[in-house]
Structure 1
Amino acid sequence: LHPDGGAGQDGRRGRGGPLLHRIAGGNEFRLTTLVMFTAAACASVMKNTTTTAMFVPVVLGIAQRARVQPSKLLMPLAFGAILGGTCTLIGTSTNLAVSGALARLGESQELAQRFQVDPQLMRPFSMFELTPVGIAIVAVGMLYMLLVGMRLLPARGGAEESLMDQYHIREYISEVIVRPESPLAGQTLAEANLSEILDLTVIGIIRGDKGRIAPRAEERIEAEDLLLVQGRMDDILRVKTEAGIEIRPDFELRERDLEAGNVELFEVLVLRGSDLNGRSLRSLRFRERYDLTVLAINRHGMALLTKLSNVTLKFGDVLLVQGRKENVERLKTDGHVVLLEGESGTRERAGKRVWAVLAFAVFLLFSITHLFGVPLSVAVLFGVLILLASRAVHTQEMYDLIDWRLIVLIAGMISFGTAMESSRADQYLADLIVRNFSSYGNLAVLAGFFALTVALTQPMSNQAAALVVLPIAVKTALYLGVNPRAFAVAVTYAASCSFLTPLEPACVLIYTPGRYRFLDFVKVGSILTIAVFAIVMLLVPIFWPL
């Protein structure tokens, strides 16, 4: 459980967009500066993924008001959040994981007996131990993005293009007439099950003089109904005889055919940890459960428009849904998605804001001052108890906020570390590195571990990469007779700064809304990674002398 758990339930989300826009106006340089600074400041005390998810709709709203392409602001948002996570112990879960692993290494009898290491060098990180170098990393990262990165960012997206045009759905929507002898007449949409049997999705019904009716699962189809269906024309032609339907050849899809009354189109982004992850729309019974129709799925810039009921949803997918705003808000409130339409205006438990701030203040007080010798874990527990007692966060939500994947990962890496130690694999690798690279100098070895950690964060999670490299880096430092804490800190910064690809969770969140491509991250992020590397190599030996 991360200390930022109460942030999403106290009504603080989505309230900063108008203020940022008033300060910066339509100036792209000032907007980028404010977005990066705000994201970095928030991410220093919240997970960077949480910060990014919280600000994506805000930044989209700013981009729309300022008439700036979203791609110009969303990557700076994600990079600002990642940079800000290097500033404090609680900035990222990677910092916490490395801090705990370093303390466990310090308890090793083998290290104590063989190297007579000073216990102070192996103690957990303090709350602001990483801050001086972290602030420098943020400053250099912002300077790079403002002077160079802004010119490398693509210009994509914007409000001038409708959602229908963005997803190219016109060619997949047709209007059909239900003939009197059709077996569909008299059945509800749920009973007809057109999406499973015929690979067609009914997204609208026009019945006589009643106009368009929003298609609910319990809506009954009648003879002579005009159905607005989504699917491939080949599938419609294939089944039109057996389904008893006729295609209207003169149909031309217009915006109002998909939006009428209180039925609108929305884009929602699937969050990590959502119940939607790893499941198909069919298995979720999505339409019946939320009274929403998914018209398209945008996955890493590719629009999926057919056989959507069988598509397995993934973290970062953007769904184009049709339905009522209150139903979308319910889906959002359940913690499954982020609504990508600027600030939604909802204020979830706004009256509990004071309690959320108090809980965080109590956590900071004990974690900074170490009052009565209270450890960090107990300081977090005090904050959690305040949130639960005030009902700013409910008990079930507290369980949902726990990152079980990280807990399992840490448990697995503890076993992995034990196996490496008992088999002396870490000692073998450390010996190998010392024999082959010590002649280049201690700083070169430190740089090598930084580069190795950055490389491993691409196919692995940041936490896993750090926990794999850490024991080898510490053993190598001890063999070289240098400060193991400096190596641990360098590994921490390297694992927390993943800009090269959109595989970092914060980057996944902005990949589709920003209409980015894979190479956009390589182009902008590679230079930023080099800049962070230079700062770490320059400052770590100063604050943690080798």
Structure 2
Amino acid sequence: MTTDMIITLTILAIAAVLFMIGKIRSDLIAVSSMVLLVVFDILTPNEALSGFSNSVVVMMIGLFVVGGGIFQTGLAKMVSSKILQVSGKSELKLLVTIILVTSVVGFFVSNTGTVAVMLPIVVSLAMNADMNASRLLMPLAFASSISGLMTLIGTPANLVVSEALETAGYGKLGFFSVTPVGTIALVTGTLLMIPLSKLLVKEGRERSGMKHNTKRRSLKELARQYQIAQNLYRLQALEDSPILRKPLANLNITGRYQVSVVEIRRKTQKSPFFKTINQEVAGPATWIQSGDILYVFGAFEQVERFAAECGLQLLDTQATEKLDEGRIRDMLFHEIGIAEVLLTPDSKLIDKQVKHSNFREKFNVNILGIRRGSSYILQNLKDERIRFGDALLVQGTWDNLDKLAQEQEHVVVVGQPLQEAAKVTLDHKAPIAAGILLLMVIMMVFDLLPSVIAVLIAAILMIVTGCLRSMEAAYNSVNWESIVLIGGMIPMSLAIEKTGAAALLSEGLVQGLGQYGPLALLAGLYLAASIVTLFISNTAAAVLFAPIALSAAVQIGVSPYPFMIAVAAASSFCFASPFSTPPNALVMSAGRYTFSDYLKVGLPLQILLGVVMVLVMPLIYPF
């Protein structure tokens, strides 16, 4: 063994121990390992940083964004609700259903893409079923890896061994050549994951990965307390209305009718792929156009008089509250929200009339009501004086509410507006998100573009079509710890190959076991590939072991097919490490897993599945 090889294996061993202890963040361990490889002159700086430009890392970032769009539009919740209808809330049925659905998707899509599609759905499913998502997410990742052996295109390792066979003159594998062994692996893996997944549910680990704050009121509760539904009406501007094309500031609607125009919705002529209804907070400079829908807050009698005198059609005749999530009687919280505001003791707003508070002018938000003690003031607000201790219900875009929250000299906003906005699903965007997801899958299945480009296109479309509220929402949807973990560990696999450690291990096992017959050699090859795949990518492991397996089979005079397919299987079935495959890393944060979780569940699964594969491989592909 060379000095470089010893240093590399030592760094790897120390990193593995730190991962298992779990006291230091995994991304910090990965970056430190990467830096040490440069310090000891094993890798150049460019080689060490190559992990962050690796297509797998870039694709993972895009997949997180796509997953964020699936979540934000409520598409994940819709699909999970359908699955719940089929399987009910039985944990066993849900687990098996998820594994089967994941496997079907994995027939045609890469394991990374499969997890990206299923991850938000499974998390939403766990929340709806009130169960621990940690029991479902790791089996999801493992099922996606197993399903890769169902078809030729399921994983790059299959393509590597097929190309090696064709180059050697044996003919490449057919599309379903690996399906028999993949089916056995799927059945075996499912049966093993059912008991093993119970080890993932820990005492104290929050159900569904989250706890609800019982003290903070939801948007529905806040709107109900201030009786928004009972005082909100919709009016449509007719063509002959005298208030068209005039700024609201000049109309004095509040003074004349004691009602407030709080929101205007206007149809736009944009592409069908973009939103067709524009929500706008009504401000002093807002102009009304023919066909606009005005959301008016006030007493019904005053609203009716306002409509009659101003050429508006009253669309609501009574207040009926709808309890759909994110919607209070057609008042959508997609782009416009509400929040409660308290005054600071030295606020200059104390004892000022609402009309002189300048909330609209300064923050572009409307005051909808005042809570004073146990009573609510909702009518004739403009002349009401604001007192210390009052709580004001304000309405505006989520961004403007967040800006108001930064104004801490005079007011304090209860809660965090941007976090509240993130909870509101953009249900009207769900069909768009589904279309983008379908487009991504089609591009990947038919290889129309490289997978990483297909994913980036889908991520960009999620942002520009409004499936994610903003670029900030896109950045927030990425789990950067997982990205840095994979990016930092990829150079380690390069160092293992560069120093010859991987080749030394594989060749030693083959030479030592070849004399004991084809089954022993097959087991040795499978074990070696399985071990090496813990530290390098499955594609790199397949590239490394394919020529070794082919040469070993020829030397002892047996068919190379069981050996080659064993290499593909061993390279794909890597479960004992979070950084060994992108699917394992993708679910790590959402499932709140530690390195030891992968060891106690993934290692037994990897060993037991390996034993089954070695035993059945010669039966399906005889020596």
User: With structure 1 as the length reference, what TM-score do the two structures score?
Assistant: 0.53
Distance 1:344 1:43, change over 3 A: farther
Match of 1:516 in 2: 593
* Matched letter for residue 524 of structure 1: V
Distance 1:223 1:522, change over 3 A: closer
CA contact under 8 A between 2:134 and 2:592: conserved in structure 1?
yes
| Aligned equivalent of 1:157, options 206, 214, 221 | 206
Match of 1:474 in 2: 550
Could you tell me which runs of 5 or more consecutive residues in structure 2 were left unpaired when the two chains were aligned.
Answer: 1-54, 57-61, 215-341, 348-361, 363-389, 462-485
Counterparts of 1:374-389 in structure 2, within 5 Å, are 380=446
Consecutive aligned runs of 4 or more in structure 1 exceeding 4 Å deviation: 5-13, 175-180, 207-223, 225-228, 322-326, 349-360, 393-400, 428-435
Counterparts of 1:123-522 in structure 2, within 5 Å, are 123-146=171-194, 148-155=195-202, 156-158=205-207, 161-162=210-211, 224-225=409-410, 256-259=414-417, 263-265=418-420, 346-348=430-432, 380=446, 435-503=511-579, 504-522=581-599
1:275-304: CA deviation from partner (whole Å, max 9, x where unpaired): xxxxxxxxxxxxxxxxxxxxxxxxxxxxxx
1:138-166: CA deviation from partner (whole Å, max 9, x where unpaired): 001111122x213322243325953779x
Distance 1:324 1:512, change over 3 A: closer
Distance 1:431 1:345, change over 3 A: closer
1:295-323: CA deviation from partner (whole Å, max 9, x where unpaired): xxxxxxxxxxxxxxxxxxxxxxxxxxx76
Distance 1:179 1:494, change over 3 A: farther
CA contact under 8 A between 2:132 and 2:209: conserved in structure 1?
no
CA contact under 8 A between 1:178 and 1:223: conserved in structure 2?
no
* Matched letter for residue 611 of structure 2: A
How many angstroms apart in 2 are the aligned matches of 1:515 and 1:93?
A: 28
- How far the C-alpha of 1:359 sits from its partner, in A, is 8.3
Worse overlay, 7-16 or 522-531:
7-16
Match of 2:616 in 1: 539
Distance 1:524 1:358, change over 3 A: closer
| Aligned equivalent of 2:152, options 77, 85, 89 | 89
Distance 1:354 1:484, change over 3 A: closer
CA contact under 8 A between 1:429 and 1:472: conserved in structure 2?
no
How many angstroms apart in 2 are the aligned matches of 1:536 and 1:437?
A: 18
How many angstroms apart in 2 are the aligned matches of 1:101 and 1:344?
A: 49
Distance 1:124 1:164, change over 3 A: farther
1:162-200: CA deviation from partner (whole Å, max 9, x where unpaired): 3779xxxxxxxxx998999xxxxxxx9xxxxxxxxxxxx
Match of 1:295 in 2: none
CA contact under 8 A between 2:513 and 2:521: conserved in structure 1?
yes
How many angstroms apart in 2 are the aligned matches of 1:531 and 1:394?
A: 34
How many angstroms apart in 1 are the aligned matches of 2:612 and 2:85?
A: 34
- How far the C-alpha of 1:219 sits from its partner, in A, is 5.1
CA contact under 8 A between 2:152 and 2:177: conserved in structure 1?
yes
Is 1:41 matched with 2:104? yes
Q: Find the structure with the greater CA-based Rg.
A: 2
1:93-132: CA deviation from partner (whole Å, max 9, x where unpaired): 232233334434x2xxxxxxxxxxxx22xx2221100000
Counterparts of 1:42-57 in structure 2, within 5 Å, are 42-57=105-120
CA contact under 8 A between 1:501 and 1:518: conserved in structure 2?
yes
Is 1:26 matched with 2:184? no
How many angstroms apart in 2 are the aligned matches of 1:99 and 1:398?
A: 32
CA contact under 8 A between 2:527 and 2:570: conserved in structure 1?
yes
| Aligned equivalent of 2:162, options 99, 102, 107 | 99
Distance 1:216 1:323, change over 3 A: farther
* Matched letter for residue 180 of structure 2: P
How many angstroms apart in 1 are the aligned matches of 2:443 and 2:619?
A: 35
CA contact under 8 A between 2:122 and 2:137: conserved in structure 1?
yes
How many angstroms apart in 1 are the aligned matches of 2:586 and 2:437?
A: 26
How many angstroms apart in 2 are the aligned matches of 1:95 and 1:56?
A: 24
- How far the C-alpha of 1:491 sits from its partner, in A, is 0.6
3-state SS of paired residue (1:129):
coil
State the superposition RMSD in angstroms: 4.9
How many angstroms apart in 1 are the aligned matches of 2:87 and 2:606?
A: 28
- How far the C-alpha of 1:494 sits from its partner, in A, is 0.3
How many angstroms apart in 1 are the aligned matches of 2:132 and 2:547?
A: 44
- How far the C-alpha of 1:49 sits from its partner, in A, is 1.4
How many angstroms apart in 2 are the aligned matches of 1:89 and 1:527?
A: 26
Distance 1:477 1:176, change over 3 A: farther
How many angstroms apart in 2 are the aligned matches of 1:12 and 1:159?
A: 17
- How far the C-alpha of 1:384 sits from its partner, in A, is 6.5
Match of 2:605 in 1: 528
Match of 2:123 in 1: 60
How many angstroms apart in 2 are the aligned matches of 1:357 and 1:455?
A: 31
CA contact under 8 A between 1:44 and 1:88: conserved in structure 2?
yes
Distance 1:399 1:477, change over 3 A: farther
Distance 1:157 1:353, change over 3 A: closer
Could you tell me which runs of 5 or more consecutive residues in structure 1 were left unpaired when the two chains were aligned.
Answer: 107-118, 166-174, 181-187, 189-206, 229-255, 266-321, 330-342, 364-379, 386-392
3-state SS of paired residue (2:587):
helix
Distance 1:349 1:150, change over 3 A: closer
CA contact under 8 A between 1:71 and 1:157: conserved in structure 2?
no
How many angstroms apart in 2 are the aligned matches of 1:394 and 1:523?
A: 32
3-state SS of paired residue (1:466):
helix
CA contact under 8 A between 1:157 and 1:514: conserved in structure 2?
no
1:185-233: CA deviation from partner (whole Å, max 9, x where unpaired): xxx9xxxxxxxxxxxxxxxxxx9968698667995976834578xxxxx
Distance 1:91 1:258, change over 3 A: same
Task: Give the length in aligned residue pairs.
Answer: 354
* Matched letter for residue 346 of structure 1: A
* Matched letter for residue 615 of structure 2: L
How many angstroms apart in 1 are the aligned matches of 2:511 and 2:607?
A: 27
Match of 2:326 in 1: none
1:210-263: CA deviation from partner (whole Å, max 9, x where unpaired): 8698667995976834578xxxxxxxxxxxxxxxxxxxxxxxxxxx5224xxx4
CA contact under 8 A between 2:157 and 2:539: conserved in structure 1?
yes
- How far the C-alpha of 1:399 sits from its partner, in A, is 12
